[in-house]
Amino acid sequence: MRRMRHWGPGLLLLSPSLILLAVFVYGLIAWTMKVSVSDEHTARGSEGFVGLQNYIDLFTNDINGRFTHSLKNLLIFTVVFLGGAMLLGLLWAFILERGVRGEGFFRTIYLFPMAVSFVASGVVWRWLMNPGKDANAGGINAVFTGLHLDFLQNTWWTNADWGMAAMAMPAVWQLSGYVMALFLAGFRGIPKELREAAAVDGASTYRLYRNVIFPQLTPVALSALIIIGHMSMKMFDLIMSVSGAQWLTEVPAVYVWQALLTSDYSKAAAISVILLLLVAVVIVPYLIYTNRAEKNR
């Protein structure tokens, strides 16, 4: 009873959010999983339990290999997006950290694109990445023709093989600044004493960064990877505003929406669950890692 008095009120205060979470997050995840193993491919409703058939069909029996194609698109997008944003973010943070005049100004400039929504920037990038060439050129291609650099003209996201790399450009542009801010905070969080100690020991600048500073940035880099990584896997709005929903640029999140529009609830649910698992594969080890790190502190 005494223990109840101790944690009872706290639990009671937490209970609304716990209940809401249980119902609207975990309850609905469970519901989605249930739909994904049922035969509900039309507006008619469920026609029974089919086990994992919907998942198997996605990989082996989807017309034109549509789902595996969307996974391939997502892979290219994610690799380019993560690689680009991490490299640029680290580079900018490094330059600013070395001491640049007007640091606050540059920080704002780099961070600013993050304030724009993907939909708004997607509309602009749709125009910038106009695939028309020569006489029909628009956007970046028109700049290239104007500079007589015609050979640089590109089909951008309409390229069948590497279009998704172009699609990642707006995402890199938007989130590099954010990664930079994370890294900058990481640099600033490293105690001065460590640098001074390294200097006293006669370490070169290269050795200082290689052996002292960068190792300490690992947790920051990991956080940045997780944050933009899970954004990348759920990417929907940017692609919808640049290309609209179509085969060429379809990723799983867009496919879910397309399946819902055609009342194929089971397929949509199955893709959603796969997407959730993909994100979980990345996030859960990270959560375990940070939990352990906090306990050891």
Partner 1 sequence: MGFTRRAAVAVVGVAALLTASACGGSDDGGSGSSKVEVFTWWADGGEKAGLDGLVNQFKTDCSGQEFVNGAVAGGAGSNAKQVLASRLQQGDPPDTFQAHAGAELLDYIDAGQVEDISSDYDSWGLKQAFPQGLIDNLTVDGKIYSVPANIHRANVVWTNKKVLADAGVTADPATLDDFFAALDKVKAKGIASPLAIGKDWTQLMLFESVLITDLGPQKFTGLWNGGTDWNDPTVTKAIGDFKKLLTYTNSDRDALDWTDAEKMVMDGKAGFQLMGDWEAADLDAKGFSDYGWFTFPGNNDTFQWLADSFVLPKGANNPDGTKCWLKTVGSADGQKAFNTKKGSIPARTDADPADYPKYQQSAMADWKSATQVPSCAHGSACSQGWQGAANSALGAYSTNQDDAALQKALAAAAQQFASK
Task: For the CB of residue 153, give the shortest distance to partner 1 in the complex, in Å.
Answer: 11
Contacting positions for partner 1 (CB under 8 A): 5, 8-10, 12-13, 15-16, 41-45, 63-64, 66, 69, 126, 130-133, 135-136, 155, 157-158, 160, 243-244, 246-248, 250, 258-264
Q: Which is nearer to partner 1, 13 or 281 (CB)?
A: 13
Q: Which is nearer to partner 1, 20 or 95 (CB)?
A: 20
Radius of gyration, alpha carbons of the chain: 24
Task: For the CB of residue 33, give the shortest distance to partner 1 in the complex, in Å.
Answer: 19
Three-state secondary structure call for residue 238: helix
List Cα–Cα distances, 76 to 99, 143, 201, 229, in angstroms: 35, 26, 44, 13
HSE of 179, CA atoms in CB hemisphere, 13 A: 28
Task: For the CB of residue 63, give the shortest distance to partner 1 in the complex, in Å.
Answer: 5
Q: Which is nearer to partner 1, 176 or 243 (CB)?
A: 243
Q: Which is nearer to partner 1, 13 or 277 (CB)?
A: 13
Task: For the CB of residue 11, give the shortest distance to partner 1 in the complex, in Å.
Answer: 9
Q: What are phi and psi of 264, to 5 degrees?
A: -90, 75
What angle is formed at CA 40 by the lines to CA 35 and CA 46, rounded to 5 degrees? 85
Task: For the CB of residue 48, give the shortest distance to partner 1 in the complex, in Å.
Answer: 15
HSE of 95, CA atoms in CB hemisphere, 13 A: 15
Task: For the CB of residue 23, give the shortest distance to partner 1 in the complex, in Å.
Answer: 10
Asked whether the CA dihedral 15, 21, 22, 23 is positive or negative, the reply is: positive
Task: For the CB of residue 138, give the shortest distance to partner 1 in the complex, in Å.
Answer: 9
Residue 204 buriedness (CB in 10 A; 0-12 / 13-18 / 19+): exposed
Retrieve residue 123's tokens.
């509309």
Q: Which is nearer to partner 1, 28 or 284 (CB)?
A: 28
163-188 and 103-111 are packed helices; what angle lies between their axes, rounded to 10 degrees?
140
Q: Which is nearer to partner 1, 133 or 234 (CB)?
A: 133
Residue 170 buriedness (CB in 10 A; 0-12 / 13-18 / 19+): buried
Three-state secondary structure call for residue 140: helix
Q: Which is nearer to partner 1, 41 or 107 (CB)?
A: 41
